[in-house]
Amino acid sequence: MNIALKTSISNVMPQINKDRLIILVDDALIPPQMLQNAHLAKALQGVELSGLKKMVRLANRASVETFKESALSTPFDAAFAQALSTPHTDGLTAQGELAYHITHLRQSTPDHKVNASPIQELGYALIHLCHWRVGGGHVMMQKAQGLDAQSSKALRMKLEPLFESEGIELFDFRHDTWIARSKHFLDLPSASLNKVMNEDVLPWLIGVPEQNERNTDALKEPSIQTLRRLQSEIQMFLYDQHASAPTFGSVNSIWFSGTGTAPKAWDAIQLLSPLASQDITLLTKNNTQVLCLHGLTQALERLDFASWLEMLKEMDHLIFEPLHQTPTLQVVLCGRHQVKRWSIEKTSWIQKSLNALKHQFLGVGNSLQLLS
């Protein structure tokens, strides 16, 4: 039993609206190449997942959406925007502005501004503290180890002068992620961290034109060059720090993501779950709640299928089973290149029977079909 996951779920469940809910599960679909693992395929066939299957069988609408490998955003990013009834633009997820909105905007104390431009001319981004592993002609993205809230704050204080010199403000968010605000992030596409994790970073660096045609805009070139230079300066600073006093874990670089302007409708979003909780996030917008489950991601990144399956079973028992009778419910399973979506709405028993037959193609027979 994953104690941390169980605790997070138990803290969130009492706040969930049992009338209108959308559940987004990140990394719940196994990539096809991983299914070549015979042990994993066999294990998936034997997993019950009764709660999830009940939700799927009750659905009166279902769909599958596939995304390009070259997309800067993850399928989860696109599903998140759709859950909030807002358009999604690749590479412009606006997660930086959303993070600022739910953590800082409602604070009564006005924040200091290093850039005199009007607030509407500034963009937001997330700054991820990460580890780049160099070897074999590649630079691979990995999670930083050995960093806590105290060392993260100390590092931010040391790096703030570098950011401020380029007109970038920093705000705290989580121990491995900060929020940044600057004109340089306006409408500048960026790759989501999960898209790049365990991949070569070079094809995904901010401003790479091959990944997004918006990066060919000549007006963005000064900002692209500024952010690339800042990234290099921080890498050199961190290299010197590790050589003299290694106090910031394995952090040796940063990653920009979450750029884009948040839709006006997102002003109504409120965070109901604890900010420190990264595996489970509960948001509300008007009369709809969105429950985001990220607990499967790290296990899949490590190719730890045993832990991935165990956490999925816990989610099924603690979340899907008790919530499967929610009158208006949408469950969205996200993979690396695909999204499967089922919607449950009030309807007649005859219509439910017809829909159950119509949606058999999505694979309700066994868990292997459901999760691939």
**Residue pLDDT tens, the chain, 372 long:** 577 778 888 889 999 987 899 999 999 998 877 777 777 878 887 788 999 999 988 888 889 999 999 999 999 999 999 999 999 999 999 999 999 998 886 553 444 333 434 455 899 999 999 999 998 889 999 999 888 999 999 999 999 999 999 999 999 999 999 999 999 999 999 999 999 999 999 999 988 766 666 666 788 899 999 999 999 999 999 998 876 766 788 999 999 999 999 999 999 999 998 887 888 999 999 889 999 999 999 898 888 888 999 999 999 999 999 999 899 999 999 999 999 999 988 665 555 555 555 555 454 556 767 787
| pLDDT value of position 44 | 81
Q: Which of helix, strand or coil describes residue 126?
A: strand
Instruction: Give the model's pLDDT for residue 281.
Output: 94
Q: CB within 8 A of 35, min separation 6: which ones? A: 41, 368, 372
Q: What is the pLDDT of residue 108?
A: 39
Burial of 145 (0-12, 13-18, 19+ CB in 10 A): exposed
Supply the pLDDT for residue 275. Answer: 81
- Whole-angstrom distance, CA of residue 353 vs CA of residue 207: 50
- Which candidate, 71, 42, 25, 70, places its Cα nearest to that of 340? 25
CB 61 within 8 A of CB 343: yes
209, 166 in Cβ contact below 8 A? no
Backbone phi, then psi, for 14, in 5-degree steps? -65, -20
| Contact between 302 and 36 (Cβ < 8 Å) | no
Q: For residue 71, how many other CB atoms are within 10 A of its CB? A: 18
Nearest-angstrom CA–CA distance, 295 and 292:
9
Buried b (16+ CB within 10 A) or exposed e, 299-333: bbeeeebebbbbbbbbbbbbbbbebbebebbbbbb
Query: Length of the chain, please?
Result: 372
Q: Do the Cβ atoms of 26 and 195 come closer than 8 Å?
A: no
pLDDT of residue 6: 83
Other beta carbons less than 10 A from residue 47's beta carbon: 18
Contact 126, 180 (CB under 8 A): yes
Distances (CA, A) of 4 to 102, 279, 280, 291: 23, 9, 11, 17
For residue 116, the model assigns a pLDDT of 38
Cα gap 180→234, rounded to integer Å: 15
Residue 365 pLDDT: 58
Which stretches of 175-279 are assigned E, i.e. beta strand? Answer: 177-182, 253-257, 269-271
- Structure-token pair, residue 142: 């990995």
Q: Distance of CA 239 to CAs 234, 255, 323, Å?
A: 8, 16, 49
CA distance linking residue 90 with residue 87, whole number of Å: 10
Return d(Cα 234, Cα 228) in angstroms, integer: 10
DSSP H helical ranges for 67-176:
75-83, 95-100, 149-165
Pairwise CA distance, residues 240 & 252, whole Å: 10
pLDDT at position 109: 41
Distance set, CA 314 to CA 218, 274, 298, 321, 360 (Å): 50, 20, 16, 10, 25
